[in-house]
Amino acid sequence: MGHKGAEMESEMIGRETVLVGLMTIILCFTSGLTASAHMGGGSCTFGEFGCHQMHGGESPYMMAEGYGGNQGCINCHSSDSSSTTYVLNPGGDPEIVVPVVVYTGATAPTEYLAGGNFWWVKEGLGGDDTKGHNVFPGEPDDNLSSAPLSAGGCAFGNFCHANFYTEYTGAEGTRQGCTKCHMMQDGGWGGFHHADDTLDPVVGGDVADDDGYFRFLTGHMSGAGHGVCGIEDPDWQATFSSGDHNEYLGYSGTKTAAGSLSALGHTATGFCCGCHGNKHISQNPGSENWIRHPSGAFPLDASYTEYNPQNPVSRPDLSEYSGPSSTVTPGTDMVMCLSCHRAHGSPYPKMLRWETVGGCDDCHISTTQCAE
């Protein structure tokens, strides 16, 4: 082959290399967009709503300024015009609907999602730490410095199990506030936010898959991993009824010792017990009398047969569910932590769903014990 022919061949090879490189980049971006389709299918890095910066940003995961760690969660999931949801990119294809967990309006919200709202906790708004979990940096909890009746072990210093408002830095990275509960994985808080949790009704049903779990709630990851399983309402219970609500997995095993996700199954109660393991599952030794209200217990009132989202119950098995059910089965379905409490905050002390005693009647319909 002559010199000119060699040059032409070299040029063709160079063009092919560039083409392959471009195709690789396109495929990478296409793959990334597909994986994050439920986040809107929009740009990862470009435009007004990009969460990442291609050449680096806030650690980890090249987060753009304002989107790193807990503050990014708060920035995105706050609104002064809606206490339930808002559209991040009106007119987008598809539009990105964002659940609101921090309402920043001047007055308390009258509507909120299944987890409640941090309005009642935030300084300058409700400012009452007895009514919710304090996830705000620089705002020490006025009521508690660590979890009450915790499971022990990690409940000291600034560990995740101590409180939310302080930073904890370990081998897996720094966690604070929201990221102490949500988006955990090996190596630190991670990319579950991109997982497609619309393919299977039971989010987290296959614990071997990092499919986001229910509300991205994960504990310490080991082996197949530990996360919360459930069926998530597509609008996070912005609207709800007996047939339109979240479904929660329950566990009816031992209630005489502290436990967590590894001991109580992939349940919301198990997740709560990571910090409050001795709170509601302890039984007075040698007695059938409960010293606190049990979680994972069957004895629902026989009259409570229509699901009330204001007093949710957990199911022992969700494998046969394709969506929410309006039916409650006493003796099978169970009381859980979220039957009485909100996860974020509520208008009532201890994040209760209702004023003390008032809500008991929804489960104890045919008794007068609560009133007494």
- Which residues does residue 301 pair with via DSSP β-bridges, in sequence order? none
Give the pair of three-digit tokens for residue 57: 């940003």
Note the pLDDT tens digit of each residue in 55-65: 766 566 677 77
**E-assigned strand segments in the chain:** 78-79, 85-87, 97-99, 102-103, 168-170, 173-175, 184-185, 188-189, 230-231, 247-249, 314-315
Distance of CA 74 to the CA centre of its chain: 14
Query: Which element (helix H / strand E) includes 75?
Result: helix 69-76
Alpha-carbon distances of 239 from 34, 89, 234, rounded to whole Å: 28, 21, 10
pLDDT of residue 49: 59
Three-state DSSP class for residue 218: strand
pTM to 2 decimal places:
0.82
Q: What is the mean pLDDT of residues 153-181?
A: 76
Note the pLDDT tens digit of each residue in 224-241: 567 889 999 999 999 999
Note the pLDDT tens digit of each residue in 1-28: 444 444 444 444 444 443 333 333 222 3
Q: What is the mean pLDDT of residues 315-320?
A: 92
Which span out of 70-74, 276-280, 281-285 was modeled with the highest average pLDDT? 70-74
The overall average pLDDT reported for the chain is: 76
Residues above pLDDT 90, as percent of the chain = 31
pLDDT of residue 18: 37
Examine the pLDDT at 76 and tell me if it is beyond 70: yes
Note the pLDDT tens digit of each residue in 179-227: 888 876 655 556 667 766 666 788 877 655 555 788 888 876 555 567 8
pLDDT higher at 143 or 103: 103
Examine the pLDDT at 134 and tell me if it is beyond 90: yes
pLDDT higher at 158 or 201: 201
